[in-house]
């Protein structure tokens, strides 16, 4: 069974581009995709060498550098760039998209759903820590230039982070165009600085031999195992390559990684290692020691801008993942603001933005230094990577049709690498690693409770359904007046009378001449063609049942779907539309409750504060009638 590849270029924006367009797309990818992994040299080698627990001998330095080099190659180049990015959900990547692709029949594959959701929850934990450690690491370079500014670094970092979150509502459509060129300058700069270090000590090139890494790993016992937790910091942004694939397509990301990002990272890590061999103390920020003193301040400014761009990418990714989870009905409906008419990925989610800001600033103040934050960093991403490997194994079997042995061999190799990093990071739980795990557990719990509440509401509503034929017969027998126009009723039931229609007749004692019942389905694919959007069936005279389908990356728009239905079927004439929407008041029933009281309370609070369904489906403000009802669960 081969992987299905959509014909339209929406699934891969780079497919129809020439060389110039591909280059431009690759440049843009530098600013959006590679910010996190591109700024990791600021703190990775310094953190790793501080964990070795001894003198920075040539054996230690070359061993550590070899581990970093081959971690970048195996995890990023092989696992993500070569394998993961070859498995897409109609062009979209990331653990939620992969979960949707593999768990289409979610009720039959609960393990896949659980793995995908917890992996997504872990990314939120990473999203809170990445801006804090990145900005702190960049500003700490000022300690080398002017030690007197040390007391002001933490307040400056907090101010930058608050400003970063505060401007999210404005969108990044304009300044985002500069992200790519700035990051291109950044990668060029770190590559050149790395070369200056390598020229001084070319012996560091020996680290390209993986035997140096293996020798260090197996000759220093438990200490070398702990070092893996620090080495992992060099690939903390690798998951972003896969998650952001839908914005650019696989080709630009692969080209940018192989031609620019990977060589720049390798050269810079090698240059830093060369300085250590030259006797530079490892207590300082080794990264900035590569820079000539006269250029240090400009380079700190460039590094700060690069970390802000990296943080922006993480925040935007959190917004995008939240939208996916909302459409897939794993999170309550939150306000989503489109900040660009051109870029669909340019969105702003106020609730997520401010919660992330509070957590990020709190972490910055609590840990104070990038060295301390490094202890909390990595466990969330390593956990996500481990879960992604499990889903990749299933994808190799289900999507590519590989044999069990071939899938197990490849995924097993990735599992050994990811598992080692995850176990090494688990040691850091007591030192701060509990923070992202706690954040992930909270997000995961919210997802499960929201889904459980929706299921309970659906079960309660389904207990009192009325067949359409019986309902229409009662309308005729009771001589219910029929008024001109079309009543559009949203429903969660199929082939049954919508409860909101029954409530409307009960309270208003009238019904429209034309009835149009719409059920909305969010599919496990990101995009749908217009031909697949709406399916309409006339089940009674002037009574139509429609199913409007949307991908999890699309904006559900019922009025647009109805217009499309009329265009597809010229005999369907809908005029003078009035939308009827139920407004549920969730209460807890006496016996037997469908949910524990604390879960019911949390679900009811989320339901009460979520964006109203009429706004979520983009219904016209002057054409909606709300009908309230209490639902006991």
**Share of residues in the chain with pLDDT > 70 (%):** 93
Lowest-confidence segment of 100-114, 232-246, 582-596 by average pLDDT: 100-114
Shared-domain flag, residues 416 and 468: no
Q: pLDDT digit string (tens) for 215-225?
A: 998 888 888 88
DSSP annotation of 410:
H
Numbers of helices and strands, H then E, in the chain: 27, 8
CA distances (Å), 250 to each of 8, 74, 247, in order?
A: 15, 18, 9
CATH number, domain at 176?
1.20.1740.10
What band does 1 get if pLDDT is binned at 50, 70 and 90?
very low
Contact of 33 with 313, CB cutoff 8 Å: yes
Comparing 176 with 557, which gets the higher pLDDT? 557
Q: Are strands 511-522 and 543-550 parallel, antiparallel or unpaired?
A: parallel
Number of Cβ atoms within 10 Å of the Cβ of 568: 14
Contact of 452 with 603, CB cutoff 8 Å: yes
Question: Whole-angstrom distance between the N-terminal and C-terminal Cα of the chain?
Answer: 44
Mean predicted confidence (pLDDT) in 80-98:
85
Q: pLDDT digit string (tens) for 391-429?
A: 999 999 988 999 999 999 999 999 999 999 999 988 888
Residue 589 is predicted with a pLDDT of 77
Domain stops at, among 427, 449, 470? 427
What band does 293 get if pLDDT is binned at 50, 70 and 90?
confident
Residue 12 is predicted with a pLDDT of 54
What band does 173 get if pLDDT is binned at 50, 70 and 90?
low
In a domain, 254, yes or no: yes
Q: pLDDT digit string (tens) for 431-469?
A: 888 888 888 899 999 999 999 998 888 777 776 678 888
In a domain, 318, yes or no: yes
In a domain, 520, yes or no: yes
Angle at 220 between CA 217 and CA 223, to 5 degrees: 90
Shared-domain flag, residues 490 and 391: no
What's the token pair of residue 303?
A: 């590094």
- Among residues 552, 531, 532, the alpha carbon closest in space to that of 246 is found at 552
DSSP annotation of 589:
-
Phi and psi torsions of 348, nearest 5°: -140, 125
Number of separate domains in the chain: 2
In a domain, 295, yes or no: yes
Shared-domain flag, residues 397 and 535: no
Shared-domain flag, residues 164 and 211: yes
Comparing 492 with 257, which gets the higher pLDDT? 257
pTM: 0.81
In a domain, 443, yes or no: no
pLDDT at 310 over 70: yes
Shared-domain flag, residues 70 and 157: yes
Shared-domain flag, residues 528 and 471: yes
What band does 199 get if pLDDT is binned at 50, 70 and 90?
very high
Sign of the dihedral through C-alpha 144, 148, 151, 154:
negative
b/e per residue 406-439 (b: at least 16 CB within 10 A)? ebeebbeebbebbebbbebbebbeeebbebbbeb
b/e per residue 377-404 (b: at least 16 CB within 10 A)? bbbbbbbbbbbbbbbbbbbbbbbeebee
Number of Cβ atoms within 10 Å of the Cβ of 275: 23
pLDDT at 267 over 90: yes
Domain stops at, among 410, 427, 444? 427
Shared-domain flag, residues 366 and 469: no
Shared-domain flag, residues 367 and 513: no
In a domain, 154, yes or no: yes
Q: pLDDT digit string (tens) for 535-562?
A: 998 888 889 999 999 988 788 999 999 9
Q: How far apart are CA 105 and CA 99, in angstroms?
A: 11
pLDDT at 106 over 50: no
> Residue 424: left if φ>0, alpha if ψ -120 to 50, beta else—which one?
alpha
In a domain, 358, yes or no: yes
Shared-domain flag, residues 123 and 215: yes
- Among residues 523, 632, 434, 532, the alpha carbon closest in space to that of 106 is found at 523
pLDDT at 571 over 80: no
Q: How far apart are CA 208 and CA 270, in angstroms?
A: 10
Shared-domain flag, residues 44 and 102: yes
Shared-domain flag, residues 508 and 379: no
Shared-domain flag, residues 171 and 318: yes
Q: What is the mean pLDDT of the chain?
A: 85
Domain stops at, among 379, 407, 427? 427
Q: How far apart are CA 428 and CA 426, in angstroms?
A: 5
In a domain, 7, yes or no: no
pLDDT at 380 over 90: no
Lowest-confidence segment of 116-125, 138-147, 230-239, 584-593 by average pLDDT: 584-593
Residue 175 is predicted with a pLDDT of 63
- Among residues 235, 266, 307, 263, the alpha carbon closest in space to that of 84 is found at 235
Q: Is the peptide bond before 592 cis (omega within 30 degrees of 0)?
A: yes
pLDDT at 263 over 90: yes
b/e per residue 466-482 (b: at least 16 CB within 10 A)? bebeebbeebeeeeeee
Q: Domain containing 415: what range?
A: 25-427
């Amino acid at each position: 069974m081969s992987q299905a590849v959509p014909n339209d270029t929406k699934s891969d924006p780079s497919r129809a581009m020439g060389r110039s367009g591909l280059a431009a797309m690759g440049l843009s990818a530098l600013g959006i995709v590679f910010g996190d992994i591109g700024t990791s040299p600021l703190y990775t080698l310094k953190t790793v060498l501080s964990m070795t627990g001894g003198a920075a001998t040539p054996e230690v330095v070359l061993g550590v550098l070899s581990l970093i080099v081959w971690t970048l190659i195996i995890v990023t180049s092989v696992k993500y760039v070569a394998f993961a990015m070859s498995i897409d959900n109609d062009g979209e990547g990331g653990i939620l998209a992969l979960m949707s692709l593999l768990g289409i029949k979610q009720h039959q594959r609960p393990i896949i759903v659980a793995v995908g959701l917890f992996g997504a929850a872990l990314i939120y934990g990473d999203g809170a820590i990445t801006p804090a450690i990145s900005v702190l690491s960049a500003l700490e370079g000022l300690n080398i230039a002017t030690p007197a500014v040390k007391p002001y670094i933490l307040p400056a970092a907090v101010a930058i982070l608050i400003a970063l979150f505060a401007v999210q509502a404005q969108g990044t459509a304009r300044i985002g165009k500069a992200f790519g060129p700035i990051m291109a300058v950044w990668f060029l700069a770190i590559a050149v600085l790395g070369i200056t270090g390598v020229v001084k000590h070319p012996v560091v090139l020996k680290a390209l031999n993986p035997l140096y890494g293996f020798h260090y790993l197996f000759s220093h016992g438990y200490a070398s195992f702990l070092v893996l937790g620090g080495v992992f910091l060099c690939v903390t942004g690798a998951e972003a390559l896969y998650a952001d694939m839908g914005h650019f397509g696989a080709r630009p990301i692969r080209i940018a990684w192989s031609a620019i990002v990977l060589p720049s990272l390798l050269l810079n890590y090698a240059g830093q290692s060369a300085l250590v061999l030259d006797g530079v103390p490892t207590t300082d920020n080794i990264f900035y020691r590569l820079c000539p003193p006269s250029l240090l301040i400009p380079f700190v400014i460039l590094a700060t801008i690069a970390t802000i761009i990296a943080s922006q990418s993480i925040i935007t990714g959190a917004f995008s993942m939240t939208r996916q989870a909302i459409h897939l009905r794993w999170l309550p409906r939150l306000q989503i603001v489109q900040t660009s008419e051109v870029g669909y990925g340019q969105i702003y989610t106020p609730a997520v933005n401010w919660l992330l800001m509070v957590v990020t600033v709190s972490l910055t103040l609590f840990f104070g230094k990038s060295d301390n934050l490094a202890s909390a960093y990595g466990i969330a991403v390593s956990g996500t990577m481990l879960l992604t490997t499990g889903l990749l194994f299933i994808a190799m079997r289900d999507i590519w049709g590989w044999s069990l042995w071939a899938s197990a061999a490849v995924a097993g190799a990735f599992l050994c690498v990811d598992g080692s990093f995850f176990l090494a990071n688990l040691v850091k739980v007591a030192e701060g690693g509990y923070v992202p795990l706690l954040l992930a557990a909270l997000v995961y719990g919210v997802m499960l409770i929201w889904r459980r509440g929706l299921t309970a509401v659906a079960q309660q509503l389904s207990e009192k359904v009325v067949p359409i034929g019986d309902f229409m017969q009662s309308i005729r027998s009771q001589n219910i007046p029929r008024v001109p126009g079309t009543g559009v009723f949203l429903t969660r039931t199929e082939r049954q009378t919508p409860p909101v229609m029954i409530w409307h007749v009960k309270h208003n004692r009238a019904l429209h001449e034309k009835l149009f019942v719409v059920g909305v389905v969010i599919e496990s694919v990101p995009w749908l063609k217009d031909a697949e959007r709406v399916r309409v069936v006339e089940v009674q005279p002037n009574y139509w049942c429609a199913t409007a389908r949307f991908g999890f990356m699309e904006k559900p728009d019922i009025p647009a779907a109805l217009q499309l239905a009329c265009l597809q079927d010229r005999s369907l004439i809908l005029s003078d539309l009035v939308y009827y929407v139920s407004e549920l008041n969730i209460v807890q029933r006496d016996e037997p409750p469908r949910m524990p009281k604390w879960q019911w309370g949390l679900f009811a609070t989320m339901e009460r504060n979520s964006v109203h369904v009429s706004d979520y489906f983009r219904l016209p403000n002057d054409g909606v009638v709300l009908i309230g009802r209490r639902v006991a669960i």
